[in-house]
Copies of this chain bind each other. A is one copy, B any other.
Amino acid sequence: MAPSAQSLPTSVSDEKYANVKWEELGFGFCRTDNMYVAKCKHGESFQEGKIVPYADIQISPCSAVLNYGQGLYEGLKAYRTEDGRIVLFRPDQNALRLQSGANRLCMPYPTVDQFVSAVKQVVLANKKWIPPPGRGTLYIRPILFGSGPILGSLPVPEYTFTVFACPVGRYHKDNAGLNLKIEDKFRRAFPSGTGGVKSITNYSPVWITLAEAKAKGFSDVLFLDAATGKNVEELFASNVFIVKVEERVVPVEDLLDAEEVFCTGTAAIVTTIASVTFKEKKTEFKTGDKTLAAKLFATLTDIHMGRVEDKKGWIVELTDATKPGLKL
């Protein structure tokens, strides 16, 4: 790591909160104090990494990620509950998704325990950046990528697993529900591609359509499947749900006939979709307090905030026993 203006990790007990205007918090990059870094050579396994001051990453110009897109990301959140605890929501599921993606992109990966431990360490090392209850969350971004140089043939000599975090507010700003453009030209994923894993290669190729849709005032895009162009897939960074439709292939017509539609994601949480526009024609759906989406959002947030009991074992609480100082 390069030297940083911040020469030592901030003590988590220095002060309770960082100097952030919490009421103005959006969903964007914000530099925090510390990050986690672990490296792994080809043919070896990831060992315990370490917390270092947040700083630029140094990688080879010829690295696998810069030249061939070998990278994955994850996203999860730390919540400050109303009774003062700090909790995560099902972090083991993010670890398993990262492992699945690493297999798809030919990379070694951290164990579930290493992953969850790294996430906990990053949260505690940036504790004062966790927004007050109800004002936002600490978004945690683990990335795994080929950092060693490669030209021509495999293997990649080195991999890096890094975790950093940013305080965030709402991802979608449209409180009255999202207005989507159904994309009828660009596709996002295709059979046997990388649509099933959180590969970085799934994102930049569809920025062009997101930018076009946003320029026209839409909240987000809804992609159709590449094989037929007829079935509903997902939004840019969230899943789509149609109330009363089971998990199955969903033709656009079924979506247009729906009463209520919403999307879910770590960033999006549960967000009502107010309309979709397909080939210039706008179709509207139910919005407001009476929607299933509103109830789901309230229940999920109640679980995150510790207001209702977690009966599923989804909440992982961070305690002094997970303090980085004790583990490093």
Chain A residues with CB under 8 Å of chain B are 2, 26-29, 35, 54, 56-62, 64-71, 73, 104-106, 139, 141, 143, 145-146, 149-154, 162, 164, 166, 168, 171, 185-187, 190-194, 199-205, 207-208, 210-211, 214, 226-227, 267
Residues of B within 8 A of A168 (CB): 151-152
Residues of B within 8 A of A62 (CB): 29, 141, 164, 166
Residues of B within 8 A of A211 (CB): 106, 154
Q: Report, nearest first, the 9 A-B pairs whose CB atoms are least far apart.
A: A201-B201, A68-B203, A69-B200, A70-B204, A56-B58, A190-B190, A29-B149, A27-B152, A29-B151
Interface centre among A58, A104, A194, A205 (most CB of B within 10 A): A205
Identify 14 residue pairs between A and B in the complex whose beta-carbon atoms are under 8 Å apart, listed by A's number. A28-B150, A57-B60, A58-B58, A65-B65, A67-B143, A68-B200, A68-B204, A69-B69, A69-B71, A69-B200, A70-B203, A139-B151, A151-B168, A200-B201
A42–chain B nearest beta-carbon distance, Å: 12
Interface centre among A60, A141, A153 (most CB of B within 10 A): A153
Given contacts A68-B200, A207-B70, contact A61 B190 (CB under 8 A): no
| Residue contact A66 to B151, C-beta cutoff 8 Å | no
Residues of B within 8 A of A59 (CB): 56-57, 59
Residues of B within 8 A of A67 (CB): 71, 73, 141, 143, 200, 203
| Residue contact A105 to B193, C-beta cutoff 8 Å | no
| Residue contact B208 to A204, C-beta cutoff 8 Å | no
In the complex the two chains form, what is the Cα distance from A208 to B200 in whole Å? Answer: 16
**Which residue of chain B is the closest to A149 with respect to CB atoms?**
B29
| Residue contact A164 to B61, C-beta cutoff 8 Å | yes
In the complex the two chains form, what is the Cα distance from A71 to B146 in whole Å? Answer: 14
In the complex the two chains form, what is the Cα distance from A152 to B173 in whole Å? Answer: 12
A324–chain B nearest beta-carbon distance, Å: 18
Residues of B within 8 A of A64 (CB): 204
Known interface pairs A56-B59, A201-B202; 9 further A-B residue pairs with C-beta atoms within 8 A, sorted by A's residue number: A27-B153, A56-B60, A57-B66, A66-B200, A71-B204, A106-B207, A151-B166, A154-B210, A190-B226
Residues of B within 8 A of A54 (CB): 61
In the complex the two chains form, what is the Cα distance from A289 to B67 in whole Å? Answer: 35
A231–chain B nearest beta-carbon distance, Å: 15
| Residue contact B57 to A61, C-beta cutoff 8 Å | yes
A280–chain B nearest beta-carbon distance, Å: 19
In the complex the two chains form, what is the Cα distance from A193 to B67 in whole Å? Answer: 18
| Residue contact A58 to B61, C-beta cutoff 8 Å | no
**Which residue of chain B is the closest to A2 with respect to CB atoms?**
B58
In the complex the two chains form, what is the Cα distance from A201 to B197 in whole Å? Answer: 14
A48–chain B nearest beta-carbon distance, Å: 19
Residues of B within 8 A of A104 (CB): 205, 208
Given contacts A68-B200, A226-B226, contact A153 B28 (CB under 8 A): yes
| Residue contact A267 to B199, C-beta cutoff 8 Å | no
| Residue contact A192 to B186, C-beta cutoff 8 Å | yes
Residues of B within 8 A of A200 (CB): 65-69, 201
Residues of B within 8 A of A153 (CB): 27-28, 214
